[in-house]
Structure 1
Amino acid sequence: MSEPSSQRQIAHALLSARGIARLVELRDAGVTAATVSRMERDGEVLRLARGLYQLSSAPLDANHSLAEAAKRVPKGVVCLVSALAFHGLTDQLPKQVWLAIGRKDWAPKPDNPPIRIVRFTESLLAESLEIHVVEGVSVKIFGVVKTIADCFRYRNKIGLSVAIEGLQEALRQRKATASEIVRQAERGGVSTVIRPYLEALTANG
């Protein structure tokens, strides 16, 4: 049976190039669901979630769950605690991937890895976007300064202590200046919330 073996080669090439692929991408490249199923049974590929695959031999990045989430929710942007963790600004290990999407964007059904959806306005969603490649997948992540402001805006969801820790670490590691944070906080409407903590932290050195 030459067809499945050539399909396997296509699947290998595609997964090597993209890191993680959806079943629809494999199908578009000419690989049938039956071939993918056989490859999974033979241990060549891993099924990460419904319709999401990766080569078994692929090295796992520390930010693997972010790559999976980006494949499942292409419009999503990594935010809040997940963005803090990515930027090295918290000791928290998020049990879920925090993703920002638009007010009317489609939200995924619960699956693995767990995704926590937060809805942002279009203007807030388009600001301070960074693209980082994780396991061959382009992942959208908010920058440090915006992440700090967002954490204070959504402090009731993530906890005020997490927002303060992120602010403290951003200043300590010199990943953001007080004036940058104030400007972003003003744009996001949280300057009155963030200012006392900023003043206390900068007054203490």
Structure 2
Amino acid sequence: MATTKTFISSVGAKSQGRYSYYKMLSEVRQGDLVKVKRGVYASPEQLADTMVDIDKLVPNGILCSFSAWSAYGLTTVIPQAFHVAVKRGRKITLPDFPTIELHYMTDKLMELGLTTKDINGYQVKIFDMERSVCDAIKFRNKIGQDVCSEVVNSYLKLPERNLTKLVDYAEKLRVKNTLNHYLEIAL
């Protein structure tokens, strides 16, 4: 069983007692921990990893778009930033590193297809595979037809695909007609 990684927050260290808090401060002074943003710290090894503790950097943020497609192996495109969906109207202070690109959504869209996945030892909120495919179709003009086609075709090749769920999500996200065109061509 994989161990769950997490960034260290000053609030979390304080809640564990004075010793933990002062130990964290000592590790920051020695360079064993790096300040990611106010009240959030990580080891240099964690920052060099391909995944970070999204929930500490963007509370209630959900991995989406290029980051989700990459996590599911649906695209060969390497994300240049962590793509994170957040509730529309939220004010968020982002760290200088790593690069995070925010996607604002309504409450209704934030709940559709929400799941948790273990990625490199981090428990990350992420949209499920079918929702991610529908997002590729929905934003095909922004991301490019080639990326959209790659995501859809990669999904359709998977043995564990769930076409019923895919069509249901497509209907809710109002991309059912476009999805049907892709399905007609691929199947």
What TM-score do you get using the length of structure 2 for normalisation? Answer: 0.82
Letter in 2 for 1:180: K
Alignment of 1:31-180 (within 5 A): 36-55=24-43, 61-62=49-50, 64-65=51-52, 67=53, 69-109=54-94, 111-134=96-119, 137-180=122-165
Aligned residue type for 1:47: K
- Contact kept in structure 2, 1:77 and 1:141, CA below 8 Å: yes
Identity of aligned residues (%): 26
State which structure, 1 or 2, has the greater radius of gyration over its C-alpha atoms. 1
Question: Which residue of the partner structure matches residue 170 of structure 2?
Answer: 185
**What's the secondary structure of 1:90's corresponding residue?**
coil
Letter in 1 for 2:102: I
Unaligned runs of 5+ in 2: none
Q: Identify the residue that residue 9 of structure 2 maps to in structure 1.
A: 22
Rounded Cα–Cα distance in structure 1 between residues aligned with 2:120 and 2:42: 10
Q: 1:85 to 1:31 in 2, by over 3 A?
A: farther
**What is the distance in 2 between the residues matched to 1:184 and 1:109?**
30
Q: Does 1:195 align with 2:180?
A: yes
Q: Which runs of 5+ in 1 are unaligned?
A: 1-15
Check 1:185–1:101 CA distance in 2 against 1; reply closer, same or farther (3 A cut). same
Looking at structure 2, the residues matched to 59 and 121 of structure 1 have their Cα atoms a distance apart, in angstroms, of: 30
Give, in angstroms, the shift of residue 113 of structure 1. 1.1
Q: 1:57 to 1:93 in 2, by over 3 A?
A: closer
> Which residue number in structure 2 is paired with residue 3 of structure 1?
none
Q: Report the Cα offset of residue 110 of structure 1.
A: 5.5
Matched position secondary structure for 1:131: strand
Of stretches 110-119 and 144-153 in structure 1, the one that deviates more from structure 2 is 110-119
Matches of 1:122 and 1:33 in 2, distance apart? 35
Query: 1:31, 1:112 → 2: CA distance?
Result: 28
**Corresponding residue for residue 8 of structure 1:** none
Query: Comparing 118-127 with 178-187, which one deviates more in the overlay?
Result: 178-187
Q: TM-score, normalised by structure 1?
A: 0.76
Deviation at 1:17, TM superposition (A): 7.3
